[in-house]
Structure 1
Amino acid sequence: MLVDSRLILGLENGQDNEGNPIRKTKSFNNVKPTVTDQELTTIATVLAPLQEWDLVSVDRTNIHSLM
């Protein structure tokens, strides 16, 4: 049974000295499990302009109860 969910924004701001992308993540915990993936994507696009870095990915982590 799905008991909890987390929204994770993947952010990028340029490159390091070796040319590798500089990436960070920002997590939002306690997302209602009933929220759809499309709704989370919409929320992420609304939050993106409020971030200092550029949005490059949107992920969702779900927590399921096995017992």
Structure 2
Amino acid sequence: MLVDSRLILSLENGQDNEGNPIRRTKSFNNVKPTATDQQLTSVATVLAPLQEWDVVSVDRTNIHSLM
């Protein structure tokens, strides 16, 4: 049974000395488990321009109860 969900934005924060991208994540906990992927995508679209760095990916992590 799905008991919890989390929205995770991956942000690119420049480059290191070797030219590799520096990535950071920002997590939004306690997302309603009943929220659809499309609803979370809409929320991420609204949140993206509010971030200091560029959003490079949006992920959802679900927590399921096994017992």
TM-score by length of structure 2 reads: 0.97
Percent identity, aligned pairs only?
Answer: 90
Question: 2:32 maps to which residue?
Answer: 32
2:48 corresponds in structure 1 to: 48
Structure 1: distance between partners of 2:61 and 2:31: 10
How many residue pairs match? The answer is: 67
How far off is 1:34 after superposition? 0.5
Deviations for 1:3-39, whole angstroms, at most 9, x for unmatched residues? 0000000000221110110100000000000000011
- Secondary structure (helix, strand or coil) at the match of 2:57 reads strand
For 1:1-67, list aligned pairs within 5 A: 1-67=1-67
4+ residue runs over 2 A deviation:
none
Q: Any gaps of 5 or more consecutive residues in structure 2?
A: none
User: d(CA) in 2 for partners of 1:58 and 1:9?
Assistant: 5
Counterpart secondary structure, 1:66: coil
Structure 1 spans left out of the alignment, 5+ residues: none
After TM superposition, the score normalised by the length of structure 1 is 0.97
